[in-house]
Amino acid sequence: CKVLVTGANGFIAIWVVRTLLERGYLVRGAVRSASKGKYLTEYFGKRGFGTDKLEIVIVEDITKPGAFDEAVKGVDAIEHTASPVVPEVKDPQGAFLYQKDALTIDLEHAADLIKPAVQGTVGILQSALDHGSGIRRIVITSSGAAILVRPTVPTLFSEEDWNTFSVEDVEKNGVNAHPESGYRASKTLAERAAWEFVEKNKSKISWDLVVINPPVVLGPGIQEITGGPANLNASIKWLYEVVVNSSSQSEKFLYSSSVWVDVRDMALAHILALQKEAAGGERIVVSAGPFIWQDLVDIANQLTPYPLPSHPPPKGIPGLDKTYLVHFKPNKQEKILGMPVSSLRTMEETVRDALTEFAARGWPE
């Protein structure tokens, strides 16, 4: 069984590729350049997975019509993860920025966010329809961002919920939209376009669709990172900022509340989404539970031995009042994927392994 994984060099996708290979699948990884493919070939080659198990295909521009036509030929399933992850675009007043100078993109680039998210998604579905006669299932990595915007009071969400606020915000307010709205809108619009595509083409397609909506994904990043922690993917950059880089901790960020899952569990969810018959036609959130960022700091302070011995963790704000605002019903992850919360990695394991990975990379310098 051969699976096409798009954005195969990304933080989540490389774990999807690894989990697929370890479970005996053949993988075709789509990346934007040969150098990104080289890292994957070398990384997996060292682990005993040669080019007979993992082949690389270059798709330079996923917004071009027919971009995936060649890539989908001869595969049995697709895991589409490629999408720009720019959680905040700078608003002109700078009022909502959590991270100092972390994201300097301006709202003009919101179009560069939404376009590849939507056109990449519709494009791969169209290529699958036109050239993927052997395809039986397509899994798309959407996001909790397509479900919600952060509430101000504790709220229980489920897969029934859709984040329409961010789309309307970008449409109505343009450059004055909330800085998180560009990314969130990109995920809502891409996911909505995928379901619409399936509905419109249901008499013609040989496959069904599963959408996974990850919350904040944490854990060890095994992807190529050139130029140091500043170039980490967004969610692990947050972890690094909070747990390692004490100078950049703001009270507002430590308080901010969301839902999380370990990247290895997220990868497993992507594989189970291929395997479980009942997953067809479902959007599924996989979450280990609610958290605030101070929780990661507290857990780091309890780790013995501490993985970065010469760099003790910051304290954040010990004793911070913890109000968890975002909650999910774990119904589908349990019933459809067989992943109850109790089976998932703990935050302690996730933080320890992420820090151990930083240490292996020689960070902090």
- Would you tell me which residues interact with ligand NDP (CB under 6 A)? 7, 9-13, 32, 36, 62, 81-85, 116, 120, 141, 143-144, 187, 214, 216-217, 233, 235
Output 62 or 326, the one with its CB closest to ligand NDP: 62
Q: How far is the CB of 57 from ligand NDP (least distance, A)?
A: 13
- CA 48 to chain centroid, in Å, comes to 26
Between 216 and 243, whose beta carbon lies closer to ligand NDP?
A: 216
- Nearest approach in angstroms of CB 239 to ligand NDP is 10
Nearer to ligand NDP, 36 or 283 (CB): 36
- The residue (of 167 and 217) whose beta carbon lies closer to ligand NDP is 217
Minimum gap (Å) between residue 268 Cβ and ligand NDP: 15
Residue placing its CB nearer to ligand NDP in the complex, 85 or 296: 85
The minimum distance between CB 142 and ligand NDP, in angstroms, equals: 7
**139: closest CA among 5, 262, 29?**
5
Beta carbon nearer to ligand NDP, 17 or 129: 17
Q: Which of 332, 121, 356 is nearest to 219 (CA)?
A: 356
Residue 3, number of CB atoms within 10 A of its CB:
24
Closer residue to ligand NDP in complex, CB, 195/306: 195
Nearer to ligand NDP among residue 162 and residue 306 (C-beta):
162
Residue nearest to ligand NDP (CB): 10
Q: How far is the CB of 324 from ligand NDP (least distance, A)?
A: 17
SS3 content of the chain, % helix, strand, coil (to 5): 40, 15, 45
Instruction: Compute, in degrees rounded to 10, the torsion defined by CA atoms 110, 267, 214, 349.
Output: -110
State the nearest-atom distance from the C-beta of 249 to ligand NDP, in Å: 19
Closest distance between ligand NDP and the C-beta of residue 310, in Å?
Answer: 28
Q: Is residue 198 within 8 Å of 205, Cβ to Cβ?
A: yes
Tokens of 187: 């995920």
CA distance 339 to 226: 34
Extended beta strands in the chain, E state = 2-6, 26-31, 54-58, 77-80, 137-141, 155-157, 208-213, 216-218, 257-262, 283-285, 289-292, 326-328
CB of residue 205 to ligand NDP, shortest distance in Å: 22
DSSP state of 148: -
Cα three-residue angle 280-204-70, rounded to 5 degrees: 85
CA separation (Å) from 209 to 127, 204, 265, 272, 278? 14, 13, 20, 13, 11
